[in-house]
Amino acid sequence: MADGAPVTLFDPYAVRVQFPILSRQVNGKPLVYLDNAASAQKPRAVIDALVATMEGGYANVHRGLHTLSNEATEAFEKAREIVARFLNAETPEQVVWTKGGTEAINLVANGLGLSIQPGDEIIISEMEHHSNIVPWHLLRERRGAVLKWIPVLDDGSLDMAAYADLLGPRTRMVAVTHMSNVLGTINPVAEITRLAHAAGAQVLVDGCQGAVHAAPDVQAIGCDFYVLTGHKLFAPTGIGALYGKAEALEALPPYQGGGEMIGVVEKDRVTYAAPPHRFEAGTPPILEAIGLGVALDWLAQYDRAAVQAHEHALYRRAADRLAEQDWLRILGQAEGKGAILTFAVEGAHAHDVAQIMDRYGVAVRAGTHCAEPLAKRMGVTSSTRASFALYNTVEDADAFVDALIKARNFFV
């Protein structure tokens, strides 16, 4: 949506009808889709844009001299501008296309890794997704980096006093999630960044959840890098973005080699393009990037505060209805948390709970949610997660609780 365009009145029922898949049934019941933290559904605007591009405007981007290539390039680069505006980046050149959040984190970790010395420290938290753990473990294994962990308190918030104590002269990177994909905790990433910079360290924020449910203003946060993924933002899979401060991107060496990311290639030397193209080797995800731009433009028509209030109200309705159930433990009660309700049912495995709920048309996720250190910290081997989005309704929240109570009755 262009700057200054009017904001559409937020009505979850009007939003819902824009998602064709939400009208289907599962096991003879209306679909109640509460697996949004894993992947969100796609609105008609995105579906139509992908079809229209494939049918009438597709070609490879950049360097083409023909009409289709020029049209595709314009749409592709417009999408980069939309992401930059969404994140409040200073320029579109600070947005690097990746195939998702995981690749974006690996890009930064690999670039940093070339200068890591044995004993250099990387700080991450106990609530990180594996995508923001394993790339740093690779630097521990290959370069001798030392991983330090910010503890998670019982309510699901970060122990900020312990974090401050972890920072030191050998700290090179602090990598933390904006919003936990398990607990829903929204972390104070601006304060985390301020303390890290005071210690001379860089900061990477994993915004794969925060970009959807929090406020991804990279200038206000002040971080060096911010990561997002398209498929949680109502866009296709296979597309993500890395924001970097101009000086941070300029200091990173190339992540992959190939076409597009070069300046000059000769037999005895090669020069590299300036960011962002330095990090975009090969044919990029053209359709997917265009789809992400359309998704963010579509999302921009709704007031973010109204969406967040709606999502939180659904979480609160479900949590309040479950509050008196002594057989259920909700993981994460941090103040201001996002609309993720992760829980453990006494005497039942999370996988069994999720499968039984599916009989009633309710889609939730079960397991460790790619966050094994957090599961261990919270004292569970697995849990079940319901995650709300702007197209969910009060009826969805009630259907979730009703199905959960029915599922629990299978185990008593």
Residue pLDDT, tens place only, 293-338 = 999 999 999 999 999 999 999 999 999 999 989 999 999 999 999 9
- Distant-in-sequence, close-in-space partners of 175: CB < 8 Å, separation ≥ 6: 105, 122, 123, 124, 128, 132, 136, 203, 204, 205, 206
Question: Phi and psi for 192 in degrees, rounded to 5?
Answer: -60, -40
> Would the CATH topology of 12-37+303-409 be identical to that of 49-299?
no
Q: Active site residue: 370, 374, 399, 404, which one?
A: 370
Assigned CATH for 49-299:
3.40.640.10
Residue showing tokens 């296979």 = 238
Does residue 276 have a cis peptide bond before it, meaning omega lies within 30 degrees of 0?
Answer: yes
Domain 12-37+303-409 has CATH 3.90.1150.10: yes
Q: Tens of pLDDT along 74-112?
A: 999 999 999 999 999 999 999 999 999 999 999 999 999
Structure token digits, residue 73: 């390039």
Residue in 213, 260, 224 with CA at minimum distance from that of residue 37: 213
Query: What pLDDT is attached to residue 65?
Result: 86
Parse the chain into domains and list their residue ranges: 12-37+303-409, 49-299
Structure token digits, residue 183: 């607990």
Q: Tens of pLDDT along 174-202?
A: 999 999 999 999 999 999 999 999 999 99
Structure token digits, residue 359: 């009989």
Res. 248 pLDDT band, cuts 50 70 90 = very high
The answer to whether 208 is a known catalytic residue is: no
Q: What DSSP element (H or E) covers 256?
A: none
Q: Tens of pLDDT along 34-43?
A: 999 999 999 9
Q: Which residues pair with 179 in a beta bridge?
A: 186
Structure token digits, residue 119: 């004993």
Structure token digits, residue 151: 């503890």
